[in-house]
Amino acid sequence: MEYDMPLYRPPSEGRSLIFQVTLGCSWNKCLFCGMYKGKRFTARPWEDLSADIIEMSRYQPHTKKVFLADGDPLCLETDYLIKTLDLLNETFPALERVSTYAGPTNLMGKSIDELKELRKRKLDVLYLGIETGNDALLKKIHKGATAQEIIDGSKKAIEAGLRMSTFIILGLGGAEGSLDHAKDSARVANAINPHFLATLTLMLGQYEEVYEKKLMGGNFKLLNKMQSLQELRWFVEDLTVTGCKFGTEHASNYLPINGTLPEDKEKILDLIDRAMKDENSRLLRPEWSRGL
Provide the binding-site residues for ligand SF4, judged by CB under 6 A: 25, 27-30, 33, 35-36, 71-72, 103, 129
Nearest distance from C-beta of residue 292 to ligand SF4, angstroms: 12
- Nearer residue to ligand SF4 within complex by CB, 25 or 275: 25
- Nearer residue to ligand SF4 within complex by CB, 36 or 92: 36
**Beta-carbon-side half-sphere exposure of residue 236 (alpha carbons within 13 Å):** 30
- Nearer residue to ligand SF4 within complex by CB, 110 or 225: 110
Question: What residue type is assigned to position 274 of the chain?
Answer: R
Q: Strand 42-43 relative to strand 22-23: parallel, antiparallel, unpaired?
A: antiparallel
Backbone φ and ψ of 125, nearest 5°: -105, 135
- Nearer residue to ligand SF4 within complex by CB, 57 or 105: 105
Which neighbouring-strand residues pair with 65? 97
- Nearer residue to ligand SF4 within complex by CB, 138 or 232: 138
In contact, 197 and 245? CB cutoff 8 Å:
yes
CB neighbour list of residue 129: distance below 8 Å, 6 or more residues apart = 30, 103, 166, 167, 168, 169
Rounded Cα–Cα distance for residues 64 and 82 (Å): 18
CB neighbour list of residue 148: distance below 8 Å, 6 or more residues apart = none
Nearest distance from C-beta of residue 264 to ligand SF4, angstroms: 28
